[in-house]
Amino acid sequence: MTKSGKTLDQRVENLEYHMVKVEARLDNIEASMATKDDLGKLDNKLDFIIGMLDKDETERLAMGAQLGRHEDWIQRASVKNGIRYNPGV
């Protein structure tokens, strides 16, 4: 008997019981963890999204520049034709 009143066999059984529970918890954690393949797929998806955002930004910049050219042309045409033009109204 030990100071806690349990025999050595009882303490070992208790320790084994808790180790089995901890091992089961670790197995559950490992089962739900992402694999290298999962992370690779995620990385590919993020690269795709970044590419789409870059393309979108480029398109928006081009559209903004084209809109600026149209605005300039409209202003020059309105003066030339004697038409009053108020941009943004």
pLDDT block averages, 10 residues each, the chain of length 89: 78 94 94 93 98 98 97 95 87
* Region of residue 6 (phi > 0: left; psi between -120 and 50: alpha; otherwise: beta): beta
The pTM for the full model equals 0.56
What is the C-alpha R_g of the chain?
35
Question: How far is the C-alpha of 19 from the C-alpha of 8, rounded, in Å?
Answer: 16
Give me 53's structure tokens: 């955002």
Whether the Cβ atoms of residue 6 and residue 14 lie closer than 8 Å to each other: yes
Sheet strands (E) in 1-89 = none
Cα(52)–Cα(79) distance, integer angstroms: 41
A 10 A CB-CB count for 78 gives: 14
The two structure tokens encoding residue 88: 């943004």
